[in-house]
Amino acid sequence: MPSRVPSNPHAPLRLAIYLGAIVALLAAIVVVPGTAAGIAAALLLGIVYAHGLELQHETLHGIFLATEAGNRLAGSLLGLPMLTTFTDTRVRHLHHHRYVGTPQDVFDRSCADFSNRRALLGHVFAATRLRDFIGATATLLSGRRHDVLKAPARDRARTEFVATALILLALLALAALIDPRLLLWGWIVPALIVAPAVHFLMTVHEHIGRPRLTRRITENSRSYRAPAWWNYLVHYDNYHIEHHLEPGLPFPQLPAFHAERRRAGADSLTLSQAMAETARGIAACLRASASTATRTEPPRCAP
């Protein structure tokens, strides 16, 4: 395995590119007239916002920047457009790492997410994202029992949810004053429609279509090689077996770890092969759900 460094040396540049792309695309919405320009900017912003969640992933493991405070601040910033707060997401994600391959892994995708085409579309577009954010904020403010957060993480999460809501509301109000098109093409369409679908495509290949109830990472997870531009967008998360084997390894080192495992005889898929495996896995979930529904459907009277 490659020698480990404490953080990602390219993190400041990656963060600067992310923020610069957002500013440039928002400026383009204001400067360039026409609906077509707004749609184009919204599509690109959706890709950038989804990429931000992939960068946030590294902050959740505390290896994007060198300090805990830096990772929390960067992670909060990267998740802001998509209402993905740092502490709550971190607790759920580390729970997934701890219990992957067991029934206790309730925070990763399973066949239950693809029980029918409507459920599939709802999952692809994260249809309940805004509602879930509002509900979680209300739960934390009211002091009601939270499903996974315990003190002091619950207190940090409450601060982050409230801060995210206030900052986003302030930014949306400012956007409306500058140009109302910024609300539609700068946030509503890219963050709530485009980015969830793009992020689904980025992450769905991690486990779907692999055996779910086994603790062997090489069986329940998937790694695949991809073009450089895809590696950049998903922030090397396509090397997912390696990530689960060494979750403390900064993400830019995952390709070298994967190459080392290949030299030792490990299997290696291409992006197209991973997509095909995933598609077969989702199709199998839909068929299994349809079969179960047919078996449990009560008999109908003859007309």
Residue 302: partners with Cβ closer than 8 Å, 6 or more residues away:
none
Residue ranges covered by each domain of the chain? 11-203
**Which phi and psi angles does 270 have, rounded to 5°?**
-95, 170
Q: What mean pLDDT do residues 145-150 have?
A: 82
Please name every residue paired with 269 in a beta bridge, in sequence order, or none if there are none. 224
Tokens of 124: 């692809």
Angstrom distance (rounded) from CA 20 to CA 154: 32
- pLDDT band for position 39 (cuts 50, 70, 90): very high
pLDDT above 50 (res 301): no
Angstrom distance (rounded) from CA 185 to CA 45: 9
pLDDT above 50 (res 299): no
pLDDT score of 296: 52
- pLDDT band for position 110 (cuts 50, 70, 90): confident
Which helix H or strand E contains 225, and what residues bound it? strand 224-225
pLDDT score of 107: 87
**Which phi and psi angles does 276 have, rounded to 5°?**
-65, -45
pLDDT score of 300: 38
- Structure letter (DSSP) for residue 269: E
Do residues 124 and 296 lie in contact, with contact meaning Cβ atoms separated by under 8 Å? no
Tokens of 116: 């029918």
pLDDT digits (tens, 9 = 90+) for 243-252: 999 999 999 9
Q: What mean pLDDT do residues 152-175 have?
A: 96
pLDDT score of 6: 72
pLDDT above 90 (res 193): yes
pLDDT above 60 (res 3): no
For helices 11-31 and 68-79, the axis angle rounded to 10 degrees is: 30
Q: What mean pLDDT do residues 27-48 have?
A: 96
pLDDT digits (tens, 9 = 90+) for 257-274: 999 999 999 988 999 999
pLDDT score of 2: 61
- Nearest 5°: CA angle at 60, between 58 and 61? 70
Do residues 182 and 29 lie in contact, with contact meaning Cβ atoms separated by under 8 Å? yes
- pLDDT band for position 295 (cuts 50, 70, 90): low
DSSP 3-state assignment of 270?
Answer: strand
Asked if the peptide bond before residue 299 counts as cis, ω within 30 degrees of 0, the response is no
What does pTM read for this prediction? Answer: 0.93
Q: What mean pLDDT do residues 180-199 have?
A: 97
pLDDT score of 303: 31
Candidates 38, 29, 84; CA nearest to 195 is 84
Candidates 267, 245, 244, 243; CA nearest to 255 is 243
DSSP 3-state assignment of 238?
Answer: coil
